[in-house]
Amino acid sequence: MRQLEIEHDNLRWALRRALNDGAAPLALRLCAALWRFWESHSYLSEGYDWCLRALALPDDAPTLRAGTLLGAGRLAYCRNDIAAARTHIAAVVAFARAAGDQDRLATALTYLGHVALIGDREEAQQLYAESLAIGQASGDRRSEALNLSGLGNVAIRREDYAAARPLLVAALDRAEETGMHGEAAFVLRCLGRVAFAHGELAQAQEYYERCIARWHELGNRREVAIFQTELGHLALAQGRHVAAAQLLPRSLAMLRDLAIAQRFPYCLEGLATLALARSQPRRALRLAAVAAALRSRHGTTMPEIEGVHVMRAIAEARAALGEVASATAWSSGLDLALDDALAEALT
């Protein structure tokens, strides 16, 4: 990945040349080879644009097209364009079924499971289970790691943490065995959430810190920003307010710089909780109001585990200010422009 970063300008030139020449097979081959780099190094919009431009060329290379469609689906997913992600990845599933390409089918089903998990846990479970069965039949330990992890995440979304833990332990074992460093980092994060839910806060901290260290090693700033926020929420639950005051603003600044807007509410909720801990109830309600408005806009809900702490902080802030002052603070937060809200949160 580091070498690809060094050669990125040359690869851009090659892609531009292929697109200008109408060389669809070459453009598709480059996109299919590069989308994982674009994902891990946070070139989400640029990579997605390259994929769409390559897919717009007339071609007679369905296998190469499927590879680029898969990449477009993953990049759209990471950009929170869920409808586009589903469209692209579902096309790969259809192609792989028709072609009898079991390896590609298993991969596409897993990624479609990630998309489905956002709104339909039952569909996600079915997709992961089908992909897992394909991987087990072929002895593909990497596929097993991805789908055991997915099933563990489904169990977390159901708050069935007892079921989640053995699935995630098995996923981590396979990810470590096969050198899937990114997947191992993700599973460590999920194990951290299970420990957090069980009140095993020291164990959760260890998992989260190992997760973030892996993403640092892989040079993935996007995942570092996201999971530092989770560690910040955990620090609040542990009463480590100094640590939270370092982690949460750093995460928010990174999220802003990387334009990962769907994660702003989660970070702002942590900063609201921190504000209350510092006896700043008005600031707490203003930041919580911004987060609520963003969640309404993005159609997301507060995570179950951290949500308990955030809602308690909001209730305590309202009690501290009284009904009228609380309503005024909340309304003033709703009126903040996003850039102003982020600037306030970072001061």
Dist. CA 263–CA 249, nearest whole Å: 13
Helix, strand, coil percentages (3-state) for the chain, rounded to 5, are 85, 0, 15
Residue length of the chain: 347
CB-facing half-sphere around the CA of 331: CA atoms within 13 A: 6
Domain ranges across the chain: 1-100
Q: What is the DSSP letter of 255?
A: H
Domain 1-100 listed as CATH 1.25.40: yes
Dist. CA 37–CA 23, nearest whole Å: 22
Dist. CA 131–CA 146, nearest whole Å: 9
Structure tokens at 18: 């292929």
Structure tokens at 72: 């477009």
**Comparing C-alpha atoms, which of 105, 178, 94 is closest to residue 141?**
178
Dist. CA 215–CA 39, nearest whole Å: 13
Structure tokens at 264: 């702003």
Confirm if 34 and 22 have CB atoms less than 8 A apart.
Answer: no
Collapse the DSSP code of 329 into the 3-class scheme (helix H, G, I; strand E, B; otherwise coil) and give the result: helix
Collapse the DSSP code of 259 into the 3-class scheme (helix H, G, I; strand E, B; otherwise coil) and give the result: coil
CB burial of residue 227 (10 Å; 0-12, 13-18, 19+): buried
Give pLDDT tens digits along the chain (347 positions).
667 776 788 889 999 999 999 999 999 999 999 999 998 887 899 999 999 999 999 888 899 999 999 999 999 998 889 999 999 999 999 999 999 999 999 999 999 999 999 888 999 999 999 999 999 999 999 999 999 999 999 999 999 999 999 999 999 999 999 999 999 999 999 999 999 999 999 999 999 999 999 999 988 888 999 999 999 999 999 999 999 999 999 999 999 998 888 899 999 999 999 999 999 999 999 999 999 999 998 888 888 888 899 999 999 999 999 999 999 999 999 999 999 999 999 98
Chain centroid to CA 283: how far? 28
Confirm if 190 and 164 have CB atoms less than 8 A apart.
Answer: yes
**Comparing C-alpha atoms, which of 111, 107, 186, 103 is closest to residue 149?**
186
